[in-house]
Structure 1
Amino acid sequence: MKTAAATLPPKPRSAGAQLIESWQWTASQIGKGLWLALNAPREISARPDHVPADRVVDFDFANMEGAETDVHAAWKRLHDGPSLFWTPRKGGHWVVTRAELIDMVLRDPETFSSTEVILPRGSKPLRLLPIEANPPDHQHYRALVMSWFTPKAVAAMKPGIQERTIEIIEAMLPNGRCEFVSEFAKRLPIAIFLQLVNLPMEDREKLLEWTETAVRSKNALHILSSFLKTNNYIEGWIRRRRAEPGNDLFSAIVNGRIQGRPLTHAEIQGMLTVILFGGLDTVAAMLAFMTKFLAENPGHRQQLIDRPELIPGAIDELMRRYGIVNLSRLVARDCVMDGVRLKKGDMIHIPNSLYGVDERRHVNPLDVDFTAPLKADRHASFGLGIHRCAGALLARMELAIFLEEWLKRIPDFSIAPGERARTATGQVNGVTYLPLVWKTARA
Structure 2
Amino acid sequence: MSSVEKIKSNRYIQNIESWRWMTSLVLKGAAQTLATVGGGSKASRPSHVPENLAVDFNFTAIDCSETDIHAGWRKLFDKPDIFWTPQNGGHWVVTRAEYISTVMKTPDVFSSDEIILPKGAKPIRLLPLEAKPSEHGPYRAIIAKRVTPKAVTEMRDGVRALTIEMIESFRAKGECEFVEDFAKRLPIAVFLQLVDLPHDDREKLLEWTEVAVRSKSSLQLMMAFLHVINYLEYWIRERRAKPGDDLISDIVNAKIDGKPLSHDEIQGMLTTVLFGGLDTVAAILGFMAKFLAENPEHRQQLIANPKLIPKAIDEILRLHGIVNLSRSVAQDTELGGVFLKKGDMIQVPNSMFGVDDRATDEPLKVDFTRPNIAASHAAFGLGIHRCVGSTLARMELTMFLEEWLTRIPDFAIAPGKKATTVAGQVNGIVQLPLRWPVS
Structure 1 and Structure 2 fold alike (TM over 0.5): yes
CA contact 2:314–2:374 (8 Å) conserved in 1: no
Aligned residue number for residue 83 of structure 1? 81
Of 7, 10, 14, the residue aligned with 2:9 is 14
Q: Please state how far the C-alpha of 1:371 moved relative to its aligned partner.
A: 1.1
1:204-236 deviation digits (Å, cap 9, x = unpaired): 000000000000111111111100000000001
Query: 1:271–1:244: structure 2 CA closer, same or farther, 3 Å change rule?
Result: same
Query: Counterpart of 1:189 in 2: which secondary structure?
Result: helix
One-letter identity of the residue aligned with 1:339: G
1:35 corresponds to which of 31, 49, 74: 31
Q: What residue number does 1:399 align with? A: 397
Q: Which residue of 1 aligns with 2:160?
A: 162
Task: Report the alpha carbon displacement of residue 25 of structure 1 after superposing the two structures with TM.
Answer: 1.1
The alpha carbon displacement at 1:67 in A equals 5.8
CA–CA distance in 1 between the matches of 2:388 and 2:100?
20
Name stretches of at least 5 consecutive residues in structure 2 with no aligned partner: none
Distance in 1 separating the partners of 2:26 and 2:65: 34
1:391-410 Cα deviation digits (max 9, x unpaired): 00000000001000000000
Could you tell me which residue of structure 1 aligns to residue 224 of structure 2?
226
Alignment match, 2:369: 371
| AA at the equivalent of 1:88 | P
Partner of 2:313: 315
Q: Where do 1:205-354 residues align within 5 Å?
A: 205-354=203-352
Deviation per CA, 1:240-280, whole angstroms, max 9, x where unpaired? Answer: 10111000000000011112110000100000000000000
Find out whether 1:386 has 2:384 as its counterpart. yes
SS of alignment partner, residue 423 of structure 1? strand
Q: 1: CA distance between counterparts of 2:15 and 2:385?
A: 32
How many residue pairs match? The answer is 433
Cα offset, 1:37, TM superposition: 2.4
Question: Matched residue of 1:122: which SS?
Answer: coil
My pick for the range that moved more, 148-157 or 15-24, is: 15-24
Q: Name the amino acid aligned to 2:9.
A: S
Residue 117 of structure 1 corresponds to 115
CA distance in 2, matches of 1:118, 1:159: 36
The amino acid across from 1:77 in the alignment is K
Match of 2:72 in 1: 74
Q: Deviations over 1:105-126 (max 9, x none)?
A: 0000000000000000011000
Cα drift, residue 375 of structure 1: 4.2
SS of structure 2 residue aligned to 1:85: strand
Whether the 8 Å CA contact 2:311–2:374 is kept in 1: the answer is no
Q: TM-score, normalised by structure 1?
A: 0.96
For residues 295-353 of structure 1, the C-alpha deviation after alignment (integer angstroms, 9 at most, x for no partner) is 00000000000000000000000000111000000000000111111011000000000
2:421 corresponding residue in structure 1 = 423
- Return the alpha-carbon distance in structure 1 between the equivalents of residues 373 and 165 of structure 2: 34
Match of 2:18, as an amino acid? S
Query: Structure 1: any 5+ residue segments left out of the alignment?
Result: 1-9
Counterpart of 1:4 in structure 2 is none
Match of 1:414 in 2: 412
Q: Normalising by structure 2, what TM-score?
A: 0.97
Deviation string for 1:105-148 (max 9, x for gaps)? 00000000000000000110000000000111111101111111
Q: 1:68 to 1:195 in 2, by over 3 A?
A: farther
**2:20 pairs with 18, 24, 28, which one?**
24
Contact 2:105 2:382 in 1 (8 A): yes
Secondary structure in structure 1 of the residue aligned to 2:434: strand
Q: RMSD of the TM alignment (CA)?
A: 1.3
Shift of 1:77: 0.3
Equivalent pairs: percent with the same residue? Answer: 60
One-letter identity of the residue aligned with 1:46: S
Letter in 1 for 2:28: K
Cα separation, 2, equivalents of 1:123 and 1:347: 13
Whether the 8 Å contact between 1:21 and 1:265 is mirrored in structure 2 is: no
Q: In structure 1, what is the Cα distance between the partners aligned to 2:65 and 2:106?
A: 30
User: One-letter code of the match for 2:129?
Assistant: I
Task: Report the Cα distance in structure 1 between the residues aligned to 2:66 and 2:124, rounded to whole angstroms.
Answer: 30
Q: CA deviation at 1:42?
A: 1.8
Q: Secondary structure at the match of 1:353?
A: coil
Q: CA–CA distance in 2 between the matches of 1:386 and 1:435?
A: 37
Q: 1:285–1:429: 8 Å Cα contact kept in structure 2?
A: yes
